[in-house]
């Protein structure tokens, strides 16, 4: 996204050829940006902040909530009208959280309405953007990024305040592309209109994807796992903190900073003792929101009562992840109480193989795969095609193919 609105060529190395990323590329190609893919390298011939052209048809993001929310901030600054939507899951994702700040910035944006919420498809008529000081009711990197992207086009200072700090990849990469960023606690600000210069980027491995191997190494006997070049941005390392608190044998090795993002090798050894139950909530939740389904699997193998709270955001992901992970782990014998904003899990439990569902949610599918590795007898997971949205080749890497 940033390469498309930067001046000059941006080269991305270690690109993930997942459905979500490819859907993003397709959207920018529709807006006249030349993008070349060769293996895991991508070259974007950026046309600058105002270089996008009106797409000939509605933009389609597939299953990517990140794409639809972030790209809306960029579309807000364009002189043309656009429409953007996605698959059935995307059309059920709440968009009011980005609509109201964009409207405050002077953007004509609308979508389908139901029970006071707004859903895709979104129709956006951009143009003259006003800077705002935006106070978010929740910590959300997607909403923050959307507002900051729109702020690139505004005359003056745009700031976003969150109740707690969410993942900060957007701030880091904008600064790497030459945009001065102000950070004061949980407030992030920039001044527009901005000028971005194309750069070369080395993308670290995604810690959310690495989490499944970290979990497997922690609960399967006689395991030793080394995961190389994993992003260890401090706004994303909640999973490592949780594993340490549970007593898992996890080491972060050889940390270095490249392209503004810290990365390291992660070593996991299975432990001779059981993991211990802990309580997870508060400001830790935004740092591991995508990892909660696999943490629930870990909790089934921990001694005591694990409490996960303040995570109601899970109910509006690709599936209602509180409901789906609870229901599927119960099929395998787990003892879980579903709560409005989380769950309570009692362990340790000897999981039994079962026929389970993914609900078209990649993180549920991968979490149940790890649960299946830890279970006695055969586990069958329905509809695992959804894994392609974020982790093509997962089944082979985990040893299931």
Contacts of 285 (CB under 8 A, 6+ apart): 139, 238, 292, 310, 311, 313
Task: Yes or no: say if 240 and 234 are a contact pair by the CB < 8 Å rule.
Answer: no
Count Cβ atoms below 10 Å from residue 219 Cβ, excluding itself: 24
Question: Which stretches of 96-181 are DSSP H helices?
Answer: 96-104, 141-151, 169-176
d(CA 304, CA 327): 20
CB 291 within 8 A of CB 297: no
- Active-site hit among 20, 87, 168, 290: 290
* Residue whose C-alpha is closest to residue 88's, from 319, 368, 327: 319
β-partners of residue 200 are 11
Side-by-side strand order, sheet with 7-13: 34-38, 41-47, 7-13, 200-202
Q: In this structure, are residues 151 and 190 in contact, taking their beta carbons and an 8 Å threshold?
A: yes
Tell me how far apart the alpha carbons of residues 133 and 146 are, in angstroms, rounded to a whole number. Answer: 13
Beta-sheet pairing, 41-47 with 7-13: antiparallel
Q: What are the C-alpha distances in Å from 101 to residues 50, 76, 128?
A: 21, 11, 14
Strand partners, 279: 307
Residue 54, number of CB atoms within 10 A of its CB: 12
Q: Is 290 a catalytic residue?
A: yes
Q: How far apart are CA 309 and CA 294, in angstroms?
A: 15
**Residue 260 in contact with residue 240, Cβ under 8 Å?**
no
Catalytic residues: 290
């Amino acid at each position: 996204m940033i390469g498309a609105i930067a001046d000059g060529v941006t080269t991305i190395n270690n690109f993930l050829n997942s459905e979500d990323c490819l859907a993003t590329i397709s959207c920018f190609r529709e807006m006249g940006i030349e993008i070349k893919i060769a293996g895991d390298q991508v070259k974007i011939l950026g046309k600058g902040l105002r270089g996008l052209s009106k797409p000939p048809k509605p933009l389609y993001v597939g299953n990517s909530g990140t794409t639809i929310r972030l790209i809306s901030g960029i579309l807000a600054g364009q002189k043309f009208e656009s429409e953007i939507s996605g698959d059935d899951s995307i059309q059920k994702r709440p968009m009011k959280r980005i609509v109201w700040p964009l409207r405050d910035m002077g953007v004509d944006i609308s979508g389908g309405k139901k029970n006071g919420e707004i859903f895709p498809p979104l129709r956006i008529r951009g143009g003259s953007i006003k800077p705002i000081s935006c106070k978010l009711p929740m910590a959300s990197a997607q909403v923050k990024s959307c507002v900051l992207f729109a702020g690139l086009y505004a005359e003056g200072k745009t700031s976003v305040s969150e109740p707690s700090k969410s993942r900060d990849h957007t701030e880091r990469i904008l600064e790497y592309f030459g945009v001065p960023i102000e950070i004061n606690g949980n407030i992030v600000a920039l001044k527009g209109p901005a000028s971005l210069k194309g750069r070369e980027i080395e993308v670290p491995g995604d810690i959310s994807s690495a989490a499944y191997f970290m979990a497997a190494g922690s609960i399967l006997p006689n395991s030793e796992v080394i995961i190389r070049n994993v992003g260890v941005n401090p706004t994303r390392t909640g999973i490592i903190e949780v594993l340490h608190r549970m007593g898992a044998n996890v080491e972060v090795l050889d940390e270095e900073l490249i392209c503004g993002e810290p990365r390291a090798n992660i070593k996991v050894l299975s432990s001779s003792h059981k993991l211990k139950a802990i309580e997870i909530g508060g400001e830790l939740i935004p740092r591991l929101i995508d990892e909660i389904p696999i943490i629930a699997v870990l909790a089934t193998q921990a001694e005591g009562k694990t409490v996960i709270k303040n995570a109601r955001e899970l109910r509006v992901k690709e599936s209602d992840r509180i409901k789906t992970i609870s229901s599927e782990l119960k099929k395998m014998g787990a003892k879980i109480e579903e709560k409005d904003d989380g769950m309570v899990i009692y362990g340790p439990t000897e999981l039994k193989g079962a026929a389970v569902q993914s609900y078209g949610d990649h993180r549920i599918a991968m979490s149940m795969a790890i649960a299946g590795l830890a279970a006695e007898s055969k586990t069958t997971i329905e509809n695992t095609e959804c894994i392609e949205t974020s982790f093509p080749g997962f089944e082979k890497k985990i040893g299931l193919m």
